[in-house]
Amino acid sequence: MAKQAAKMGFKEIQFDYVRFPEGFENESESLNYSLGDYETSDLDDVQQRVTAVGDFVKYAREELDPYGVEISVDIFGYAATVPEAPGIGQNFAKISENVDVISSMIYPSHWNAYFGINKPDLEPYNLVSEYMKVENNLLSGLDTPPKSRPWLQDFTASYLGAGNYQNYGAAQVEDQIRALHDAGVNEFLLWDASNSYTPGVNYNME
């Protein structure tokens, strides 16, 4: 009886930092760098960055397609709330058109007063819920929308100062997961720079 060789590899390749540096639009004129294929482009600086990021994602998908691997991209959460993030070159819709999974980083601590929420870190359920209304609306307008698998917060943002943050534990992580579930999303990623994740979290909200 013939033996079938085991196949090894990766089901998915996730791209992080698919963007220009934060604040690039404020420093670009003082920097010496090549525009590469965009040297003769008629696009302005913002559109060059947006196009470069979008072109990279499209190129990566085309090159990896023969291997049957899925493509996922991490993206700043606020990129979904603006037509495009000019400095970093992220356009939520354009990137989403060329990936299988989109992972927005929607940590409550990373927002200023947004969605009518003055202190987002104190309201993890509401922040994630309001964000998902925006994202779901954008994805519904695409012909082949990717799967949504957001990044959630599992760390305490004490750097925000007294009164602006809370200690994040099981309840706060579960609030974010519940908000995703209520928005129809059942996959997520957790972030804590120290890799110390909260025990006892109910990850299954179904």
Between CA 82 and CA 44 the distance in angstroms is 18
Q: What is the DSSP string of 52-81?
A: HHHHHHHHHHHHHGGGT-EEEEEEEGGGGS
The pTM of this model reads 0.91
Residue-wise pLDDT tens digits, 163-195: 999 999 999 999 999 999 999 999 999 999 999
What rounded mean pLDDT belongs to the chain? 93
Sequence-ordered strand ranges (E) for the chain? 12-15, 70-76, 101-105, 147-148, 151-153, 189-191
Q: What is the pLDDT of residue 5?
A: 63
3-state secondary structure of 205: coil
Q: pLDDT band at residue 2, thresholds of 50, 70 and 90?
A: low
Residue spans of the domains in the chain: they are: 12-23+41-191
DSSP bridge pairs for 122: none
Class of domain 12-23+41-191: alpha beta
CA distance 40 to 54: 18
pLDDT for 131-160, tens place per residue?
A: 999 999 999 999 999 999 999 999 999 999
Q: What is the mean pLDDT of residues 194-204?
A: 94
